[in-house]
Structure 1
Amino acid sequence: MLGQESEELSPFVIPQEDIEVLNASEGFCMLRNYLARDTSFCAQHEGCDSQTKETWILHRDLLHALVMPVLELFNRASALAEAALCTHKSEDLELAFAGDARGAFLCLQCFVDEEEDWCRTRGCPACITSATLSTESHLRLTIAASLLSTSSVATPSTSNASSPANTPTTEEPSTSRALPPLPHILPALRDALSSDPFWGPDHWPYLLSRATQLSAGIQALIDECVNLESLVSSPVADRTAFIGGKRNFTTPGLQYTNAQSEEKGVKLRKSKLAKRQLRLEREEIELMRRLAMQCWAKAKLPKSVRGQMLGQGGEDSRRRRSLTCP
């Protein structure tokens, strides 16, 4: 639920010359005509005059033009991750990315999960616009989206990647219908923060720095999506190798197994510490194996047979205590 502010005026002030530039864009005008089909104010803002409502709607449309491309990028990244990893678990999708791209994906995943209505600008335009100043996450995403709109980055296609057999499309939108760069919100945001009693003027440098980091992470996410596009359209064997590599990266047990099975190159002499760690790791694996066998035997085997199977039949078979560390 989006909190409704008591103020009747928008916190943002955009110069008239910037508004004229926006209205001259064919893509932005098409977007405004589309959003105008479903525009309704809440009871609190329904009593505003027509000029104030027009301002609220303009600022809502501007936010939609900023945030929706980022939301579509996140949806595309999620679909590509599902296709590459062959999983629908949302908590596993981050494994398809690394570094700054993974951080940006997690940030967008958490924010979209909680604020999808705001990202899609659903509801009262006045409440949507006012909610931009509600949290640091809203501000950081808005600033980052504005920075992305002015950068020249290649965006992945928006074809459906739910099936690995699908191939990415390469069709580009018409240049005249593309959305223009939208840096106009940055001065308006800075002034709104300066005059806001909660934020004040001291928070702008910090928010701009955090938003710049998020913008760089989203650009890295775009690059990784381009790589995943080629992976999704590649043979199944390549995707299987990709899944194995990603899962081994986060599963030390599988790393250890691969390290034993793939002995290539020059053999190096193991240090005492390395030998000790390997011994402890083998002991841990053996203990886990015995624990699993004991649980299975207790559930499936009679007591008389259980001890013989586990090697606990006689006095000589008792486990002797020993020091595992010097």
Structure 2
Amino acid sequence: MASTSYATETSPFEIPHEELQVLCQSHGFQVLRTWLDNRYSFCPRHSTCDIKTQETWTLHRDILHALIMPIVALYKRASALAEAALCTTKSEDLELAFAGDARGAFLWLQCFLAEEADWCQTRGCPACVTAETMSTESHIRLTIAASLLSTTQLYAENSSPVIGDFGGDAPSPPAAGPDLTLPPLPQILPALHDALDKDPFWGPEYWTYLFERANQLSSAIEALITSCGDLESLVASPTTAKPAPHRSVTMPGLIYTRLDSGARGAKLKKSRLASRQLRMKGEEMEIMRRCALQCWAKAAVPSKFRNELLGRIERRRSLTCP
């Protein structure tokens, strides 16, 4: 009986029919719905729902996909740019490429997308995916933030239908065009507000709190968008203009001589300043070795082991001492 009662439940979101008609007239949203159609079937608990209820579940799932997938695409772009800028693939180091609110947004998305990958990709039963939106504060915050962002810069730069990762059997999405964009999606906000007010767990007192936090998240994601633009300029390949043959450029410590276009590589010649700096660096390393040897001697570490591990180099006159 409990399963049957749950299966006949309708979507928690009540969006006016007029707004849905306007949304469904968007060519970009129609393309997105075509790609999502029949990707996943209803679970046994929702497969007993009538056709109209299932159509409503599916439509609301498609709206959520149109809201969340641009955020997922933004995070993937930010991760790729961070990897290129930092020359690392360690996920725990990627946050170092950002600062301030952008870094906070990146960390938040990194944690949430890792834990809720199926929901963010809308994988699974359309009804379960839609109902899960009300499951945690993080789900609600991201949904509100995505709706707020849908009317701003995010959709202006990344508003083509984002299909997501459905595996190797899914064909490539069509090329973006001027008529293939997603419309703003603020319709979910009043529907989500009403759903929270009617929900026995959340209640009407939570909307103001959740909306304020979601607004902060959307502002942080906008900062992440700006940071991605800066990073993209940083890691972009420089223009490959042909230099004049045998052109010389003097840099601090180095004399850089360009060869003609037919030669390979570049000729480098160390100046006296560069040689002196390299020698001073070697002296610094030697001083550090001596300190380590002295500390180990006090600790009664065998001398043979010390010499093998740290080694000894011939003493030379210091450039930094009289």
Matches for 1:18-167 after TM superposition, within 5 Å: 18-153=19-154, 155=157
Match of 1:38, SS?
coil
Task: State which of 211, 214, 217 in structure 2 corresponds to 1:211.
Answer: 214
Letter in 1 for 2:83: E
For residues 105-125 of structure 1, give each alpha carbon's deviation from its aligned partner in whole angstroms, at most 9, with x where no partner exists.
Answer: 000000000001000000000
1:192 matched residue in structure 2: 195
Give unmatched runs, 5+ long, in structure 2: 161-174, 239-276, 278-287, 312-322
Q: CA deviation at 1:303?
A: 7.9
CA distance in 2, matches of 1:299, 1:46: 73
Residue 301 to residue 71, structure 1, CA distance change in 2 (3 Å): same
1:223 matched residue in structure 2: 226
1:294 matched residue in structure 2: 296
CA distance in 2, matches of 1:304, 1:175: 70
Whichever structure has more helix as a proportion of its residues is: 1
CA distance in 2, matches of 1:291, 1:142: 60
CA distance in 2, matches of 1:293, 1:110: 43
Residue 17 to residue 299, structure 1, CA distance change in 2 (3 Å): farther
Q: CA deviation at 1:176?
A: 1.6
Larger RCO: 1 or 2 (CA < 8 Å, sep 6+): 1
CA distance in 2, matches of 1:105, 1:11: 30
| TM-score (normalised: structure 2) | 0.68
| TM-score (normalised: structure 1) | 0.68
Q: Return structure 1 stretches of 4+ with deviation > 6 angstroms.
A: 297-300, 303-306
Q: CA deviation at 1:37?
A: 3.5
Letter in 2 for 1:137: S
CA distance in 1, matches of 2:128, 2:69: 17
Does structure 1 conserve the Cα–Cα contact (< 8 Å) formed by 2:70 and 2:159? no
Percent same amino acid at aligned positions? 60
Give unmatched runs, 5+ long, in structure 1: 159-171, 236-260, 262-285, 310-326
CA distance in 1, matches of 2:73, 2:131: 23
Q: CA deviation at 1:174?
A: 2.1
Residue 129 to residue 157, structure 1, CA distance change in 2 (3 Å): closer
Q: CA deviation at 1:173?
A: 3.4
Matches for 1:254-265 after TM superposition, within 5 Å: none
Does structure 2 conserve the Cα–Cα contact (< 8 Å) formed by 1:78 and 1:93? yes
CA distance in 2, matches of 1:304, 1:290: 9
CA distance in 1, matches of 2:191, 2:207: 12
2:6 matched residue in structure 1: 6
CA distance in 2, matches of 1:72, 1:214: 16
Q: CA deviation at 1:149?
A: 0.3
Tell me which structure has the larger Cα radius of gyration.
2
Q: CA deviation at 1:175?
A: 2.8
CA distance in 2, matches of 1:39, 1:32: 12
Residue 48 to residue 299, structure 1, CA distance change in 2 (3 Å): farther
CA distance in 2, matches of 1:177, 1:291: 69
Does structure 2 conserve the Cα–Cα contact (< 8 Å) formed by 1:150 and 1:182? yes
Letter in 2 for 1:141: L
Does structure 2 conserve the Cα–Cα contact (< 8 Å) formed by 1:155 and 1:222? no
Q: CA deviation at 1:214?
A: 0.6
